[in-house]
Amino acid sequence: PAGIFNFKGSLKGELSFNQETLATKMQINGCDITRSAYAKIEVGQRHIYPDELYLIKAILNVDWNDLFVPMND
C-alpha cells in the first residue's frame, strides 16, 4: 500500500466489533458504505475516504494513533 501508514483494521476486533456492525454504525451516521467495502479497506483493496476514517475513529472512540501502524520497508 502507498503512504506512510497502513490502516489497522484489527483494532475493531480488539473492541468487539465485526465488519457488519461497524459498517452498520457508519451507515446510521450517514456514511454510504457496505460491509464488503469496509472489508476491502481493511485489506488495502480500497482507499479510505477522510469522512469514513473520521467516523471509524468516532465509533471506536480511539485516538488517531490507534488507527494506524507504521509500515515496514
Q: Per-residue pLDDT tens for 34-57?
A: 999 988 888 778 888 999 999 988
Question: What pLDDT, on the 0 to 100 scale, is given for residue 1?
Answer: 44
Question: What pLDDT, on the 0 to 100 scale, is given for residue 2?
Answer: 42
Q: What angle do CA 10, 72, 64 make, to 5 degrees?
A: 45
pTM, rounded to two decimals:
0.75
pLDDT for residue 72 is more than 60: yes
pLDDT for residue 18 is more than 80: yes
